Amino acid sequence: MKKWSELKDSSFFDASARERAVGLVDKGTFTEFLHPLDRYCSPHLVVLGQAVEFDDGMVCGVGLLGRHPAFIISMEGRFIGGAIGEVNGAKMVGAIRLALTAAKEIKAKYPGEYEAKRPLVVISFETGGVRLHESNAGLLAHAEVMDAFQDCRHIVPVVSVVGSKVGCFGGMGFVAAAADVIVMNEQGRIGLTGPEVIEQEMGKEEFDASNKALVYRTTGAKHKYIIQDCNYLVEDTIGDFHKVLGEIAGKSMEEIEKMRRIGSIDLVREQQELVKLVGDMQPKDSMDVWKHFGNENPAALPELSTAEFLKTVKRRARS
């Protein structure tokens, strides 16, 4: 594996789950929970004759972002598309709960310094949702993660990081959106039903999954950034993600709360406004929406580099 200093300038998109986990926290601070030597494989895949992985496709651990302990959950898309089963689901839930325990202990031990030492949870999503081979356990894991998110509210910030090959789809699309903050690179995608499934169910006229440009401008980061489903859009290096996570770790809980999409009656109203807008304008393409929010030449946006895009883009105004 690459050294931390090499990871800094490496593509986040191309990185493995472990590389991301190590590179998202400060140099040399990452400790992995249930590392490969523990050989915590899925017991179900063995029975089904499916290939297994020692970490079950999920790298969890803790590192530091400045003085903040960062609990990292990093999904490996190359192993069964990053799908969530029993073992990796339990690892995910366990890591979030551990962050809460850490928060309690820090509060007790350093009552005056909690803000400065406040832990956070960072989840690097790369998944299509539930692993079909162990679907009940996978679904349960989704529910338990959502529950754990609720326990974290106002105590421990939860940050979704999306920018890997598989994107973040299925039930995990909900999970990512339920976090406090969402950070993406240009290649990042979030959605519920995957493009291929939409095409299969609704036809090519409705959604042509082979038209990658269409897929990206519907589920991709630039669209999410414009409609405010994504809080930070960063360049595709692990170092850029690390830097912005450091900033987020230092924010007050009030600032964190303001970045959420759901979780209060006002936020529900805001989402309803968006639904109403879509109903009224009946967009045929994401570009119609971009134009509505003030982007005069929407067709040019996908071609812009992240830096140019950030300079010129107009986003939905938040109330």
Partner 1 sequence: MALQVLEFNFKSAATQSIPKEWSHTGVTGSGDLEVLLEKKDLGGGVKAKVVTPVKGFDAVWEKMIQKFVTDTGVGNLSIEINDDNATPIVVYMRLRQALAEATAKEAE
Partner 2 sequence: MEFKGITREWDTLKKDTKARVGAASAYTKNGKIVDAENTVALLETVIKPFDKVNIEGNNQKQADFLAKCLCEVDVKKIHDLHMVQSVLTLPEHLDVFEKGIAKKLDMSFSGPQAGRIAEFLKEGKLELGAIHTYLELYGRYFVDLTPRVALIVATMADAAGNLFTGFSTEDTPAIVEATKFRQGIVIAQVNEIVEKLPRVDIPGDWVDFVVQSPKPFYIEPLFTRDPALITDAQVLKGMMAIKGIYAEYGIKRLNHGIGFDTAAIELLLPTYGEQLGLKGKICTNFILNPHPSLIPAIECGWVESVHCFGGELGMENYVAARSDIFFVGPDGSMRSNRAFSQTGGHYAVDMFIGGTLQIDPYGNSSTATANRVAGFGGAPNMGCDPKGRRHSTEAWLKCGAEYSKAPELWGTVHRGKRLVVQIAETFREKLAPGFVEELDAFALAKNAKLPIEPVMIYGDDLTHVITEDGIAYLHKCENMEERTAAIRGIAGFTEVGLKADPKTTAKLKERGVIRTTDDLGIDITKATRSMLAAKNVHDLVVWSKGLYNPPARFRNW
State yes or no: residue 1 binds partner 1 (CB under 8 A): yes
CA distance 26 to 209: 38
Which of partner 2, partner 1, none has residue 78 at its interface (CB below 5 to 8 Å by kind)? partner 1
* Beta-sheet pairing, 68-75 with 58-65: antiparallel
Q: How far is the CB of 212 from partner 1 (least distance, A)?
A: 20
User: Measured between alpha carbons, how far is residue 166 from residues 55, 82, 128, 195, 302 in Å?
Assistant: 18, 8, 7, 12, 19
**Alpha-carbon gap, residue 47 to 62, rounded angstroms:** 32
**Residue 299 per-residue DSSP state:** G
Torsion (CA) 216, 283, 280, 272 in degrees, nearest 10: -10
Q: Where do we find the tokens 């809080």?
A: 231
Closest contact distance (angstroms) between CB of 319 and partner 1 is 43
Q: Which residues bind partner 2 (CB under 8 A)?
A: 11, 14, 186-187, 210-216, 220, 302-303
For the bound state, the minimum distance from the C-beta of residue 210 to partner 2, rounded and expressed in Å, comes to: 5
Integer Cα distance of 109 and 44 in angstroms: 41
CB-nearer residue toward partner 1: 46 or 262: 46
Binding positions for partner 1, 205-234, rule CB under 8 A = none
Q: What does 1 bind: partner 2, partner 1, none (CB cut-off 5 to 8 Å by kind)? A: partner 1
Window 3-62: residues binding partner 1 (CB under 8 A): 3-5, 16-17, 27-28, 35-37, 39, 41, 45-54
Site for partner 1, rule CB under 8 A: 1, 3-5, 16-17, 27-28, 35-37, 39, 41, 45-54, 76, 78-79
